[in-house]
């Protein structure tokens, strides 16, 4: 009981609570290492608040109480904004609350009982997420990697000399032309025709093999369907980390590096592809991790970040700068003297919606005045111009004709899935909803322009089976086309859709 009277316990617990609570709610999708910087920031913030109030009040218990209250309010701004959509009212609410609490604290003569109560409340607050974290750590399995990755990749002579540069560029949630026309009333034929004029093959009826980026990219970069995951995990297992590990430690990168390629990884804000430890060079503007950005977005810093477009704290403005930066760097890749394999994950037209059709920044005020459909199409229009410009640079400046894949890894979410990502039952979905999610933009450029091995419904899982076949002078060893869907809450519970 004496320990509960110690006034520094509750501000210390409150300094780690926002990070612990956020990590607890994202256990199955975030590495613990992502919390290091947020823990440090939150602790330093609490220390600054405490020392400032202590200097003013010259009372340890009073300074501790103010620190706990201010620290809690600091990190609940984003949550309160969802209830009170007018920021000015939130500021008025905060100010009034601080004035009332300040007067109450000033009247206190004996802080003993108040300190005990504050310690008990913060202990209760932090105990729930801590229990979830400890329970998860006790149950967590070792990360599962694809069996062939554990084996040494055998050297295979290539029949193509010199080796062509290979570009695998993902435009996340870029829908097929048929979906854009049917669901968004948008005719994308002008852009498609320009790619055809540059000798691209357009897989007009291509579908993603999986409904999520993690599964889809893992299957493509390991050149296999993911049936083995069902044997290693229960259908109600929520842990995404083995899939993310499979995505990073993928077979394609190992194969190409073994053939003599340098690997350039263009990451984005989504942490599983933000960087890759196998890369010879990582290219990104990822100042803050996705986890840190969410914490900032929940805090009172969000308003200042958006108003002043702070490059580090405003994740929307950072994303606008990141995509432009990556396009510029992609155009410079032909200058690399050695054979290169480039993987670029471009989280656009995926939200956040930050581009107008002309490529200028979409402010938060403008964002609120447009529908999601309008914002999505604006990002498509911006992308189309950038893709054509990039294509011209790659084809004009490459040492030798390259191999290029422009693809989406998934389509846009149907509203029914968007509203229930963790529990959605795809077996009950309409065909139009499944088509919207799985039908993707897919364009392929081959150096010899021989597309006899391609078809309109070419599957991404066969991308690099095609490439290795070309490099080795062999017939591609294709896998059958399969289409599997999951929800966010059950990443190993696959529903296989029989496409007709």
CATH assignment of the domain containing 423: 3.40.720.10
pLDDT band at 308 (very low <50, low <70, confident <90, very high): low
Query: What was the pLDDT predicted at 113?
Result: 85
SS3 helix, strand, coil % of the chain, rounded to 5?
55, 10, 35
Please compute Rg for the chain using Cα positions.
26
In a shared domain, residues 290 and 184? yes
Query: What was the pLDDT predicted at 150?
Result: 43
- Residue 147 predicted with pLDDT over 50: no
What pTM was estimated for this model as a whole?
A: 0.86
Q: Which of 481, 439, 451, 386 is nearest to 211 (CA)?
A: 439
Query: What was the pLDDT predicted at 32?
Result: 85
Handedness of CA 344, 349, 355, 358 (dihedral sign): positive
In a shared domain, residues 170 and 232? yes
Tokens, residue 410: 């998934």
pLDDT band at 148 (very low <50, low <70, confident <90, very high): very low
- Where a domain ends, among 113, 139, 165? 139
Q: Tally the C-alpha atoms within 13 A of residue 159's C-alpha that lie toward its C-beta.
A: 9
Give backbone dihedrals phi and psi of 343, rounded to 5 degrees, phi first: -115, 125
- Residue 231 predicted with pLDDT over 90: no
- Where a domain ends, among 82, 110, 139? 139
Q: Are 160 and 260 in contact (CB under 8 A)?
A: no
Strand pairing report for 340-346 and 201-202: unpaired
Query: What was the pLDDT predicted at 309?
Result: 65
Residue 497 neighbours by CB distance under 10 Å = 20
Query: What was the pLDDT predicted at 149?
Result: 43
In a shared domain, residues 320 and 351? yes
In a shared domain, residues 259 and 363? yes
| Mean pLDDT calculated for residue range 285-297 | 80
In a shared domain, residues 157 and 86? no
- Residue 38 predicted with pLDDT over 70: yes
| Mean pLDDT calculated for residue range 312-326 | 90
Highest mean pLDDT of the ranges 130-134, 420-424, 459-463: 459-463
In a shared domain, residues 47 and 186? no
More confident residue, 499 or 284: 284
More confident residue, 321 or 1: 321
In a shared domain, residues 234 and 116? no
Cα 198 to chain centroid distance, Å, stands at 31
- Alpha-carbon distance of 99 to 105, in angstroms, equals 10
- Alpha-carbon distance of 237 to 179, in angstroms, equals 32
163-179 residues labelled b (16+ CB within 10 A) or e (exposed): bbbbbbbbbbbbbbbeb
- Alpha-carbon distance of 332 to 344, in angstroms, equals 14
- Alpha-carbon distance of 473 to 434, in angstroms, equals 37
Query: What was the pLDDT predicted at 428?
Result: 94
In a shared domain, residues 87 and 195? no
- Residue 169 predicted with pLDDT over 60: yes
Number of separate domains in the chain: 2
| Mean pLDDT calculated for residue range 44-49 | 93
- Residue 197 predicted with pLDDT over 70: yes
In a shared domain, residues 367 and 466? yes
| Mean pLDDT calculated for residue range 216-239 | 93
Ramachandran class of 173: left when φ > 0, alpha when ψ lies in -120 to 50, beta otherwise: left
In a shared domain, residues 415 and 445? yes
Task: Report the SS3 class of residue 169.
Answer: strand
| Mean pLDDT calculated for residue range 9-18 | 94
pLDDT band at 155 (very low <50, low <70, confident <90, very high): low
| Mean pLDDT calculated for residue range 10-23 | 94
Range of the domain at 269: 147-496
- Alpha-carbon distance of 349 to 165, in angstroms, equals 26
In a shared domain, residues 108 and 166? no
In a shared domain, residues 450 and 331? yes
- Where a domain ends, among 139, 164, 196? 139
| Mean pLDDT calculated for residue range 26-52 | 89
Give backbone dihedrals phi and psi of 236, rounded to 5 degrees, phi first: -95, 10
Local structure of residue 207 (DSSP, 8 states): B
Residues 215, 483, 473, CA angle at the centre, nearest 5°? 80
Q: What percent of the chain has pLDDT over 70?
A: 91
333-356 residues labelled b (16+ CB within 10 A) or e (exposed): bbebeebbbbbbbbbbbbbbbbbb
- Min mean pLDDT across 85-94, 411-420, 444-453 is at 85-94
Q: Which of 66, 55, 72 is nearest to 106 (CA)?
A: 66
Q: Are 94 and 76 in contact (CB under 8 A)?
A: no
Omega before 108 within 30 of 0, i.e. cis: no
Residues 389, 392, 397, CA angle at the centre, nearest 5°? 125
Q: At 263, which helix (H) or strand (E)?
A: strand 262-266
Q: Which of 214, 185, 177 is nearest to 440 (CA)?
A: 177
What average pLDDT does the structure give for the chain? 89
- Residue 362 predicted with pLDDT over 80: yes
More confident residue, 12 or 56: 12
For 125, counting Cβ atoms within 10 Å of its Cβ (0-12 exposed, 13-18 middle, 19+ buried), the class is middle
Query: What was the pLDDT predicted at 145?
Result: 46
Query: What was the pLDDT predicted at 87?
Result: 67
Q: What is the dihedral of CA 155, 267, 326, 281, to 10 degrees?
A: -50
| Mean pLDDT calculated for residue range 188-201 | 98
């Amino acid at each position: 009981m004496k320990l509960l009277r110690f006034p520094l316990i509750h501000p210390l617990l409150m300094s780690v609570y926002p990070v612990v609570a956020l990590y607890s709610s994202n256990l199955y999708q975030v590495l613990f290492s992502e919390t290091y910087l947020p823990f440090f920031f939150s602790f330093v913030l609490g220390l600054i608040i405490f020392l400032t109030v202590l200097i003013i009040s010259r009372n340890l218990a009073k300074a501790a109480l103010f620190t706990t209250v201010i620290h809690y309010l600091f990190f609940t701004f984003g949550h309160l904004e969802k209830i009170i959509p007018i920021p000015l009212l939130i500021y008025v609410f905060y100010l009034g609350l601080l004035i009332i609490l300040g007067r109450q604290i000033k009247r206190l003569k004996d802080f003993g009982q108040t300190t005990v109560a504050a310690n008990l409340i913060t202990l209760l607050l932090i105990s729930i997420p801590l229990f979830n974290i400890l329970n998860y750590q006790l149950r967590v399995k070792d990360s599962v990697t694809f069996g062939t990755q554990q084996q040494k990749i055998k050297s295979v002579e290539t029949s193509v000399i010199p080796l062509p540069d290979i570009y695998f560029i993902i435009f996340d949630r870029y829908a097929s032309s048929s979906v854009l026309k049917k669901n968004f009333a948008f005719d994308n034929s002008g852009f498609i025709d320009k790619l055809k004029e540059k000798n691209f093959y357009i897989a007009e009826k291509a579908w993603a093999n999986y409904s999520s980026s993690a599964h889809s990219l893992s299957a493509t970069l390991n050149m296999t369907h993911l049936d083995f995951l069902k044997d290693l995990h229960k259908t109600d297992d929520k842990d995404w980390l083995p899939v993310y590990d499979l995505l990073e430690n993928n077979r394609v990168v190992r194969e190409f590096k073994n053939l003599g390629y340098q690997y350039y990884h263009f990451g984005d804000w989504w942490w599983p592809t933000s960087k890759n430890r196998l890369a010879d060079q990582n290219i990104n503007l990822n100042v803050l991790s996705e986890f840190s950005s969410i914490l900032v977005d929940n805090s009172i810093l969000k308003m200042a970040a958006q108003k002043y477009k702070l490059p580090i704290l405003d994740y929307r403005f950072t994303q606008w700068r990141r995509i432009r930066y990556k396009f510029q760097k992609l155009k410079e890749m032909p200058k690399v003297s050695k054979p290169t394999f480039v993987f670029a994950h471009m989280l656009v037209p995926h939200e956040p919606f930050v581009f107008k059709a002309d490529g200028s920044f979409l402010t938060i005020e403008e964002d609120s005045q447009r529908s999601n459909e309008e914002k999505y199409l604006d990002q498509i229009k911006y992308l189309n111009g950038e893709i054509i410009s990039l294509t011209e640079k790659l084809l004009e400046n490459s040492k030798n004709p390259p191999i290029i894949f422009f693809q989406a890894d998934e389509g846009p979410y149907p509203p029914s899935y968007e509203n229930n990502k963790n529990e959605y039952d795809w077996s009950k979905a309409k065909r139009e909803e499944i088509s919207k999610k799985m039908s993707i933009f897919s364009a392929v450029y081959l150096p010899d322009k021989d597309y006899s091995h391609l078809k309109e419904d070419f599957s991404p899982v066969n991308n690099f089976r095609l490439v290795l076949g070309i490099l080795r002078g062999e017939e591609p060893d294709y896998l059958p086309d399969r289409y599997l869907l999951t929800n966010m809450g059950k990443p190993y519970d696959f529903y296989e859709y029989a496409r007709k």
